[in-house]
Structure 1
Amino acid sequence: MQTRIHPPLQTIDVVNEAESILRACVHCGFCTATCPTYQVLCDERDGPRGRIYLIKQFLETGTLTEASRKHLDRCLSCRSCETTCPSGVQYARLLDIGRSLAEQKLPRSPGQRLLRWGLRQVLPHPARFKALLAAGRTFKPLLPENLQKKIPPVRPSSPWPANSHKRIMLTLAGCVQSTTAPTTNAAAARVLDRLGITLLEMPKAGCCGAVSQHLSADDEALNFMRNNIDAWWPAIEQGVDAIVTTASGCGVTIQEYGHLLKDDPDYADKARLVSELCKDLSEILSEEDLSKLNLTRSDAADSSENEAIRTAVHCPCSLQHGMKQSDNLESILQQAGFELAKTRDKHLCCGSAGTYSILQPELSQTLLNNKLAALTSDQPDQIVTANIGCQLHLESQSDIPVRHWIELLDEKLD
């Protein structure tokens, strides 16, 4: 795609990066067929190709309208289009650049600025989020029904293994996950312990930076990333095997540290190594001998009616399109003896997408209803996923339990 960048923008480094991405696009339209928002809205401007043209127009003219930004805001950053694209267009990065420049050129209304600032002040900070969640649970009966459904149930923390092994891996406690689902990392630690791996959380590590990045607070996002690198670096120097993420939304961001910090002379090399070390938990287990877990046999043995519990697997967009790990979840669970239900439209987003469910509630709800219909078409007894945002979003409307998949393996340890 030929571009002629507006002269005042030509000196901006990220604009040069955006131009390179634009030139890779051959405007074939394959991406449109797999875009969740295009499927719902049927508007070219609400598909990847249309948004690419809007960003191109913005960079060539230096101007952007509220109408154009509306279509950019509606994108989930699910990256389904990247999986489909035959030309390897880095659409998600282009969108981040376009949105960031838009924030500078076209200020939002005071109400929108306040909302986005508030999200950045709460979600990446576990203590603040925990306090807000506690208040929400206390006053839940007084809240509107739609907000009541968004308040997750209490999941008590569970013990970590006390063993120590030669193989050591790091993990991120996470912002929302550490408060709403502390059982997830504990379950991962117990499963990895059986495989001879010690899993550690570094106390000073914090938000991965995704919330700030997707809300176009670029400097803030980079500072979160630098903080995590500093927190992990002593252990990395001692030779940890990997950085394991149990929330794929965090994982896909950490894998981008190397690119996002490539121009930082103090962190470029460290960030590149951190990205190389980062793997999703499912990728780690796919490379291990799962027979060492000595799992108790199938769900049927646990059912009073001698019928197996059927599980629907939801592979988050950040895992299948971002981290390019689409098959591990089902393969691991099948090896472990779980009966999997059939699902439809596996490539389409559930509508969670970080803060999307808050900023685009109507469209998010439509996508959620579509995803739940696709996940429950074969009448499963439970749904499992690999990302806390998806887990909370799905369970807000689901009639059956929604859990992190590692909990299933943890429960089967003998």
Structure 2
Amino acid sequence: MQTQFTDADRQKPHIQEADRILRTCVHCGFCNATCPTYQLLGDERDGPRGRIYLMKELLESADDDDQVTKETRLHLDRCLTCRSCETTCPSGVEYHKLLDIGRAEIDRRVPRPAADRMLRFGLRKALVEPKRFQALLKLGQTFKPMVPGALQNKMPPKPVDAGQRPDTQTHTRRVLMLEGCVQPGLSPNTNAATARVLDRLGISVTPVNEVGCCGAIDFHLNAQEDGRRRMRTNIDAWWPHIEQGAESIVQTASGCGAFVKEYGYMLRDDPAYAEKAQRVSELAKDLVEVLRDEKLEVFEIGDTQRLAFHCPCTLQHAQQLSGAVEGVLTRLGFALTPVADAHLCCGSAGTYSVTQPELATQLRDNKLNALEAGKPAVIVTANIGCQTHLAGANRTPVRHWIEIVDAALV
């Protein structure tokens, strides 16, 4: 794709990056074939190719140009950032990086309405601090009938108890684990089950209490500098343990994992953190990347119930780990049902299910129909956002896949 940036604009780092990405697009439109919002709405502007054109026009225009409209923002906001288009693209267009640039630019030029700003600010403040989130969650569960409908479905009536965690100093092999911000409240058993399974494999999980939210919530709600500050805080907290030999940083939420793997890219221009951020990204592993390389034959599995696996977009498209969890579950003896259109997003997409509830509900119901077609006993997934969103329909039970493995160990 040809671009028309001025020489002055080309001196700006974000324009340089946008220009690089735009020039890789060849207008083929293959991306639209796998775009969930294009499939629902049939509008070229609600597919990746159309959004790329909108962002090109936005970035090439002057600050006072009236091309920046509410309509342009609408179509960018409707994007799930599922990155299915990137998996499909034959030219390797890094669409999600361009989208971050486009969203930041339009917010810089045209402030959002007050109600929209308040919603996004509230989401950032409510979700990123685990203790605050857990307090708000308990309050919401107590007064659930008074909670707005879009948020009611996000609150499980009672999460599965976490149970006992193994000693953190038992084994020579040590990993760090990102506990997450909402997962400890919504599904406390996920990380506890992970620690127990890893303990069976001779791996201890070192807790790092100073680590907070990965930064994705702030970053994707266009508070990008706040997101980068969280990245730096986490790097500082992890770094002494990395120097002491921690072999990896494990994420049980694929959305967090995808984001931590991009720390190196997002802090590439920070002279104080670029090298450390790159090292953190190299050490970041989704849980399945750890388990698939271990001798799983040491496990005795007592209950191999029929499962449907929902592969989150952040696992299959962002981390390119499609089929990895299915492979581990199959090796352990679980029976997996086939899932049609497994590449399509469930509609969770971080805070998307709150900011775009109508589209998110349609995508969720379509996804559940596909997952339930094989009549599984349980739907399993690898991301707390997807888990909560799918479970909000109150249909088939939805759990993290590691909880099912942990419960089945003899």
Q: TM-score range by the shorter chain?
A: over 0.9
| CA offsets 1:268-299 (integer angstroms, 9 cap, x no match) | 00000000000100111111110122333x43
Partner in structure 1 of residue 182 of structure 2: 176
1:315 aligns with 2:320: no
Q: Choose 46-55 or 196-205, whichever is displaced more.
A: 196-205
How far 1:144 moved relative to its partner? 5.4
> 1:6·1:61 contact (CA, 8 Å) conserved in 2?
no
Q: After the TM superposition, which residues 93-132 of structure 1 pair with which residues of structure 2 at under 5 Å, given as runs?
A: 93-132=97-136
How far 1:45 moved relative to its partner? 0.2
Q: Choose 81-90 or 110-119, whichever is displaced more.
A: 110-119
The whole-number CA distance in structure 1 between the counterparts of 2:328 and 2:313 is: 18
Partner in structure 2 of residue 157 of structure 1: 162
| CA offsets 1:20-55 (integer angstroms, 9 cap, x no match) | 000000010000000000000000000000000000
> 1:210·1:253 contact (CA, 8 Å) conserved in 2?
yes
Gaps of 5+ in 1: 300-308
Q: After the TM superposition, which residues 28-47 of structure 1 pair with which residues of structure 2 at under 5 Å, given as runs?
A: 28-47=28-47
The whole-number CA distance in structure 1 between the counterparts of 2:206 and 2:94 is: 33
How far 1:159 moved relative to its partner? 1.3
> 1:248·1:318 contact (CA, 8 Å) conserved in 2?
yes
- SS of the equivalent of 2:204 reads strand
Partner in structure 2 of residue 60 of structure 1: 60
Gaps of 5+ in 2: none
- SS of the equivalent of 2:321 reads coil
Partner in structure 1 of residue 297 of structure 2: 291
TM, length-normalised to structure 1: 0.95
Partner in structure 1 of residue 193 of structure 2: 187
Partner in structure 2 of residue 230 of structure 1: 236
Q: After the TM superposition, which residues 18-37 of structure 1 pair with which residues of structure 2 at under 5 Å, given as runs?
A: 18-37=18-37
Aligned residues: 404
> 1:252·1:323 contact (CA, 8 Å) conserved in 2?
yes
- SS of the equivalent of 2:338 reads coil
| CA offsets 1:190-212 (integer angstroms, 9 cap, x no match) | 11111111112210000000001
| CA offsets 1:230-261 (integer angstroms, 9 cap, x no match) | 11000000111111100000000000000000
1:92 aligns with 2:96: yes
The whole-number CA distance in structure 1 between the counterparts of 2:147 and 2:248 is: 43
> 1:9·1:59 contact (CA, 8 Å) conserved in 2?
no
> 1:74·1:360 contact (CA, 8 Å) conserved in 2?
yes
Amino acid at match of 1:282: V
The whole-number CA distance in structure 2 between the counterparts of 1:17 and 1:205 is: 30
Relative distance call for 1:147 and 1:236 in structure 2 (3 A) is: closer
Amino acid at match of 2:71: A
Partner in structure 2 of residue 82 of structure 1: 86
How far 1:149 moved relative to its partner? 2.5
Amino acid at match of 1:161: P
> 2:307·2:376 contact (CA, 8 Å) conserved in 1?
yes
Partner in structure 2 of residue 364 of structure 1: 360
> 1:372·1:398 contact (CA, 8 Å) conserved in 2?
no
The whole-number CA distance in structure 2 between the counterparts of 1:293 and 1:189 is: 15
- SS of the equivalent of 2:307 reads strand
Relative distance call for 1:72 and 1:391 in structure 2 (3 A) is: same
Partner in structure 2 of residue 10 of structure 1: 10
Partner in structure 2 of residue 406 of structure 1: 402
> 1:258·1:271 contact (CA, 8 Å) conserved in 2?
yes
Q: Choose 118-127 or 50-59, whichever is displaced more.
A: 118-127
How far 1:312 moved relative to its partner? 0.4
The whole-number CA distance in structure 2 between the counterparts of 1:101 and 1:149 is: 33
- SS of the equivalent of 1:271 reads helix
How far 1:145 moved relative to its partner? 5.3
The whole-number CA distance in structure 2 between the counterparts of 1:146 and 1:100 is: 26
Amino acid at match of 1:105: R
RMSD: 1.3
Q: After the TM superposition, which residues 224-263 of structure 1 pair with which residues of structure 2 at under 5 Å, given as runs?
A: 224-263=230-269
- SS of the equivalent of 1:10 reads helix
Instruction: Find the partner of 1:390 among 386, 395, 399.
Output: 386
How far 1:147 moved relative to its partner? 4.1
> 2:155·2:186 contact (CA, 8 Å) conserved in 1?
no
The whole-number CA distance in structure 1 between the counterparts of 2:150 and 2:55 is: 34
- SS of the equivalent of 2:206 reads strand
Q: Choose 247-256 or 375-384, whichever is displaced more.
A: 375-384
The whole-number CA distance in structure 2 between the counterparts of 1:212 and 1:143 is: 23
User: Percent sequence identity over matched residues?
Assistant: 55
The whole-number CA distance in structure 1 between the counterparts of 2:92 and 2:69 is: 28
The whole-number CA distance in structure 1 between the counterparts of 2:172 and 2:311 is: 31
